[in-house]
Amino acid sequence: MEIGMVGLGRMGANMARRLARSGHRVIGFDPSEEARKAVESDGIGTASSLDDLCELLRPPRVVWLMVPAGAPTQKTIAHLLERVGPSDILVDGGNSHYKDSLEMAKLCEAAEVEFVDAGTSGGIWGLQEGYCLMVGASVEAFSRLEPALKALAPEGGLLHTGAPGSGHYVKMVHNGIEYGMLEAYGEGFELLKRGPFDLQLEEVAELWRHGSVVRSWLLDLLAQALEKDPELQHLRGYVDDSGEGRWTAVEAIERGVAAPVITLSLQQRFLSRQEDTLANRVIAALRNEFGGHKVESR
């Protein structure tokens, strides 16, 4: 089938390549000329603008967006709705908030355009391993997209989660769980490092990959990283967040669902970005005031 791919960054470009390698005709667009040229060498056609992309695609069109969540995605969809027509499909494969996806679905429905939200997991390994796809769509739209979806996903890695919005809801919770898992690995290896034994962290990580109940793909990646740098000294302990952990924590609060691990893992990420915080200085001052505990001066 024929697909337009908007956004040729790390994810979008590799998804375009995987589709092309499976025999699908892909036309890509990215504001960056460098990004466009990078995929042209893989036999992928490119467009110089969104308008050009819509002209090059044959109706009924399929346009897949891999652009930043929020205003960039909303503006892109609004622009496309002025140029696509009835029975065309717009797919948001980025990390949009599911509530935004519900709003985009309404706009598309009013224009008689199918909206699909495809929660996508796989990162930079997706080209090789495939992408886990959580797809919110009408039955008709999912059926039409299925050949491309199957090309992108590994065996067992594709699910029609339900109506539009459901795909990004599942992906949001997926990323919240990821936050908790990453935090647990981080805390565990910190404890191993600070323990009373001279442990080789890369050896422990490799050991746990085989038969342990905590083995996972994340542990595979950690073992790989520790093999290169046993104490990860080339990195600064600054941990960013894409927003989905925040959304998961807020959703849990709104629905009265206890999610302490996910919420605390998010807070730990915030803490990682602060050095010599006022909060810690307050605690140190109070301990010194009430108990005479030792403090360190700057």
The b-or-e profile of 201-233 (16+ CB within 10 A means b, else e) is: bbebbbebbeeeeeeeeebeebbeebeeeeeee
**Cα–Cα distances in angstroms (integers) from residue 219 to residues 37, 65, 137, 200, 268, in the given order:** 35, 30, 33, 15, 20
Instruction: Please state, in angstroms and rounded to a whole number, the distance separating the CA atoms of residues 105 and 188.
Output: 42
Q: Tell which residue, 265, 52, 72, has the closest CA to residue 178.
A: 265
Name the 3-class secondary structure at 114: strand
State both tokens at 258.
Answer: 């206890």
Residues belonging to the active site = 171, 178
Residues 15/152, Cβ–Cβ less than 8 Å? yes
Instruction: Please state, in angstroms and rounded to a whole number, the distance separating the CA atoms of residues 99 and 296.
Output: 47
Residue 23's region, left for phi above 0, alpha for psi from -120 to 50, else beta, is left
State both tokens at 293.
Answer: 């505990």
**What is the DSSP annotation of 33-55?**
HHHHHHHHTTT-EE-SSHHHHHH
Distance, CA of 156 to chain centre: 19
